[in-house]
Structure 1
Amino acid sequence: MSTMNSVVICGASGYIGQYLRRSLEAGEVAVRTIGRGGVSDATWSDEQSVVDVLSGADLVVNLAGRSVSCRYNKRNADEIFSSRVETTALLGRALARTPQPPSLWANASTGTIYRDARDRPMDEATGELGKGFSVAVARAWEQELSDAPTPIRKVALRMSIVLGAGGGAINPIINLTRLGFGGKMGDGGQMFSWVHVEDVVRSITHVFEHQDISGPVNIAAPVPVTNDQMMREMRTALGRQRGLPTPDWMLELGARIIRTEAELVLKSRWVDPAVLADTGFRFKYPTLKSALNQITQETPRGLLPVALG
C-alpha cells in the first residue's frame, strides 16, 4: 500500500478543498496548494511554479473550477468551462514536465455527466451520458484529463451533490425548510444522489490506496432518495412538521432571484458508486438520515449565508 506523505490540492479555497486540506493536515500529511494567487504555493499563471510544487508529491487533487450555482449566461458559462478545462490542461502539461510526479492525479468531475435518470442507476461501466451545457462541460473536463500527456494514474471523481455543515449545497435547502418551503421541489420524483463531504475525502484516500482504480469513479452515497424523500428527511432533521411544495414555475422564479439555475434541483441524478463498492469502500454516512443528523447538529439556527451566483 502506498503511503501518503505529501499532497497538492488545486482549488483549495473552495468548500471541498478546505475540508480536504483540514482532514489531511490533521493526519499529518503535508499539503501544498495551486491557485489563482494570494496564499497559494504556486499560481496558474506561472507554470514553472506548478511544476516545482508538484515534484515529490504523492498525490495531486484538482478541484479547481468556478461554482455552477449561477445563471448560465455566456460570461458565466465561459468561466465555468475555462476554469475547469484550462486548469486541467495546464496541470497535464506541468505533470509531463515534473521530475518526480505524483503517483495519482485525482481530478474533479461531476455525476451530472449522466443523463436525467428515473429508470435506473448510472454506474461507471453502463451509465449513459446526458446532453446539455452541464454535460458538455463535464465531458470536456474528463477529455482533457484523459488526453493529458503524462503517464501517471488518473481518476475522474464524478461527484454527486456534496453535503456538509457550513457550506456546499445544503444551506439553500436548510433555508427553504426553515422558511416553510420544505416540501417537494417540482414533482418530487427526481432522484437525488448525494454524498457527505467526509466521505468525499475518505473516497479520495481509498482511490489513492487502491492502485488498480483508474478512470471515472462515482462519488455518491449508496442510498439515493427522491427529492420528495430528501425534503421529508430535511424537515425531520430540522424538526419541521410541514413544508409547502415548490412547483417548477416557483423554482424557476426563485432561481432567477438568487441567480442560479433550477436544473440544479430539477434534474434527476441517480449515481451508483459501483467502483467504490466493488473495491470494498465503506461509507461513514451511507444514508441521508445519518448525514443530515450530523450536519444539523453542527448548523447554527436562523437563515444561513448562501453565495449568489
Structure 2
Amino acid sequence: MENTTVVIAGASGFIGTYVSRRFAEDGWNVRTIGRSQRASAAWGDNAAITTALEGADLLVNLAGRTVDCRYNRRNRAEILESRVSTTGALGRALSRCSAPPRTWLNASTGTIYRDARDRPQTEDDGELGEGFSVNVARAWEAALAESPAPVTRKVALRIAIVLGPGGGVMRPFAALARLGLGGRMGAGAQKFSWIHVEDLYRTIRFLHIRKELEGPVNVAAPAAVSNRELMRSVRRAYRMPLGLPTPAWLLKVGAIVIRTETELVLKSRWVEPRKLLDAGFTYRYPTLDGALNASRGRQG
C-alpha cells in the first residue's frame, strides 16, 4: 500500500480519529482536513485544501457538527451548515485539481429513511422520511451530487449508529443500564440499525476497491434489532441483569435535562445494507453482542 494516499476530512471526531489511525496502520499516507492544528489543511483555506487533495487516491469526508444536542434554531443551522458547506468546499477544491482522487466517499446518514417498522429500507426501495434530520441528509447528499467533480466517483455513505471504543453514542444507554433503567425505551419495537467502527473502516476500504458501486450505500450491520433487544444486549454487556422500562414521555423530559433529542432512541431506523451484501462484503462484527463486547474491550 506504499504511496497510496487518503484524504480524511473531519478527522478529529470519534469516527475520523479511528479511521485515520487504521489507514496509517495499514500503510496509507494520510492527509487530513479540519480545524485541528495538526491537520494538513484547514477549512476556509481553499488553496491548502486543493493541495491536500492533489494526487490523492481516495477522499473520505466525515465532517459535521454533532447531532447530540437540542435542536434549537442555532444548533439546527450549525448542523446543516457544517455538512453542506464542507461538502461544497471539497467539491470546489476537486474541480481545481489536475489529478483529483478517483473516489470520494461522503458521509450521510441512515436517518434519511422514514420511521420504518414494517420492512427494511434498502438503497433501491427505501422511502425517505420527513423532518429536520431527513432534510439535513437530503441537503448533504444534494451538495455531494452537485459538486463539480467529473472524473471522481461519488458515494454517499448512509451510515447507521456507529459503535466502538470511545464512541459517545452508547453512553446514554450504558448510563441508564447502570442505573437499573436499561429496559425498553418507549414501545420498544422501534428498530435500531448500527455498525461497529471497524466494519465502517473496512466498508470504506471495500468501496474504494469496488469501483462499480456508486450512489448511496447503506452502511449498517446485516441485521437490525429492536430497541427491546438493544437494551437487553446493553444490559448483558454491562452485566446488569434487570432494567426498568422508560416510557416515551419520561424520555422526552430527560432529553431536555441532558440537552439532547429523543430521536436517537424513539425513531425506528431499519437500514438494510443491500448493496454491500450483494457485493460480498463480510462483517467482522455481524452481531450486536459481539460489537458491544468489542467496544468495551472484551471478546465474545
Both proteins in one fold, TM over 0.5: yes
Compute the displacement of 1:296 (Å).
2.6
Compute the displacement of 1:172 (Å).
1.7
Compute the displacement of 1:3 (Å).
8.5
Matched residue, 2:32: 33
Matched residue, 2:10: 11
Compute the displacement of 1:133 (Å).
0.2
Cα separation, 2, equivalents of 1:83 and 1:158: 17
CA contact (8 A) 2:2 2:28 kept: no
Cα separation, 1, equivalents of 2:122 and 2:2: 29
CA contact (8 A) 2:12 2:36 kept: no
Compute the displacement of 1:297 (Å).
2.9
Cα separation, 1, equivalents of 2:77 and 2:219: 26
Matched residue, 2:69: 70
Matched residue, 2:183: 183
Matched residue, 2:213: 213
Summarize the alignment of residues 290-301 of structure 1 with structure 2, pairs less than 5 Å apart.
290-297=290-297
Matched residue, 1:161: 161
Summarize the alignment of residues 1-309 of structure 1 with structure 2, pairs less than 5 Å apart.
5-151=4-150, 152-297=152-297
Cα separation, 1, equivalents of 2:238 and 2:3: 38
Give 5+ residue unaligned stretches, structure 2: none
How many residue pairs match? The answer is 298
CA contact (8 A) 1:159 1:219 kept: yes
Compute the displacement of 1:4 (Å).
7.7
Cα separation, 2, equivalents of 1:287 and 1:216: 23
Cα separation, 2, equivalents of 1:4 and 1:136: 39
CA contact (8 A) 1:4 1:58 kept: no
CA RMSD of aligned residues (A): 1.4
CA contact (8 A) 1:162 1:168 kept: no
Give 5+ residue unaligned stretches, structure 1: 300-309
CA contact (8 A) 1:4 1:59 kept: no
> Equivalent residue of 2:230, what SS?
helix
Compute the displacement of 1:209 (Å).
0.4
Post-superposition CA distance 1:60-104 (Å, at most 9, x none): 100000001110000000000000001101110100111110010
With structure 1 as the length reference, what TM-score do the two structures score?
0.94
Compute the displacement of 1:37 (Å).
4.5
Post-superposition CA distance 1:240-277 (Å, at most 9, x none): 11001111111111111111101111000000000100
Post-superposition CA distance 1:255-307 (Å, at most 9, x none): 111111011110000000001001110011111011112123369xxxxxxxx
Post-superposition CA distance 1:9-57 (Å, at most 9, x none): 0000000000001101111111011112522111111101100000011
> Equivalent residue of 1:187, what SS?
coil
